[in-house]
Chains A and B, each alone.
Chain A
């Protein structure tokens, strides 16, 4: 089954404790991206990756890091989380060849930073 898998789905942590949210897709998609969703703000792009070893900043990259060492994985790293990073995070992927295809979203990871 084609899917984007995020882990963990729920996490409560404390300020300053490094954490990683993993994202994996099984569709051989080139493009992967991270978004955060906050009430009244829609989804805002954090980082995206056009392919392996190619990443770029989205609209709200501050406080986040990413890496793309393998095509299927695109982890989101919070080196020193702060309460303003409390949010619902989504990973998405898409096959970029030709027309922009359907963005496949993960189920979301709800992060609370105390």
Chain B
């Protein structure tokens, strides 16, 4: 079984300050991990993904995440927050292990990021 825990339901930062959204996962195999963003009244958009290549993954809009197997973590960071980053963020784990199957996805509960001027 796999699971995902997003450690903060809400994070509030000031514009121009760093962002840290925390995610821990549980998996009995080498997982694939993703971060998705959801802006109000929109569907989800992929920010970045980890699939057993480089442990530091760069995504869109200046976000990056580091896979730490020893800590079972996949925290999302951004050096400087922008007002447009205000949204809900989801950490996702997949049991995909290669080949043509996609695997089962498990979503975290979400973290709402608020950015103050």
Residues of A within 8 A of B (CB): 4, 30-31, 33, 35, 40-45, 48, 50, 58-59, 90, 92, 94, 96-100, 102-103, 105-108
Contact = CB atoms under 8 A, between A and B. Distances in A.
Interface of B: 6, 9, 32, 34, 36, 41-46, 49, 51, 90, 94, 96, 100-110
Contact of B107 (A4, A44, A94, A96): A44
Nearest to B100: A96
B46 A107 contact: no
Nearest to B111: A42
Contact of B96 (A44, A90, A100, A105): A100
B22 to A, nearest CB: 15
12 contacts: A30-B100, A31-B102, A42-B6, A42-B107, A43-B107, A94-B102, A98-B100, A99-B51, A100-B96, A100-B102, A103-B44, A105-B45
Nearest to B46: A102
B57 to A, nearest CB: 13
B105 A106 contact: no
A59 B105 CA distance: 10
Contact of A90 (B43, B94, B100): B43
Nearest to B44: A105
**3 closest Cβ contacts across the A-B interface?**
A105-B43, A42-B107, A43-B107
A40 B9 contact: yes
A33 B43 contact: no
A58 to B, nearest CB: 7
A42 B108 contact: yes
Contact of B101 (A40, A45, A96): A96
Contacts of B107: 35, 42-44
Contacts of A59: 106
Contacts of B42: 107-108
